[in-house]
Amino acid sequence: MNAKSTRELEAQRAVLLRQLRRAGPAIEGSPAMVPRKCGSATCECAHGVVKHHAMILCKKVAGRSVATYVPKEMWEQVREWNQEHKRLKKVLKEMSALNEQIIRQHVQDKRQEQAVRKSLSVLPLQKGPSIP
Grouping H, G, I as helix, E, B as strand and the rest as coil, residue 23 is coil
Cα(34)–Cα(75) distance, rounded to whole angstroms?
Answer: 13
Cα(103)–Cα(41) distance, rounded to whole angstroms?
Answer: 65
Under 8 Å between Cβ of 53 and 71? no
Buried b (16+ CB within 10 A) or exposed e, 65-89: eeeeebeeeeeeebeebbebbebbe
Under 8 Å between Cβ of 83 and 90? no
pLDDT of the chain, 132 residues: tens digit per residue: 457 888 999 999 999 999 999 999 999 999 999 988 888 888 888 887 767 889 999 999 999 999 999 999 999 999 999 999 999 999 999 999 999 999 999 888 888 888 887 777 765 666 666 665
pLDDT score for 103: 93
Where do the domains of the chain lie? 6-116
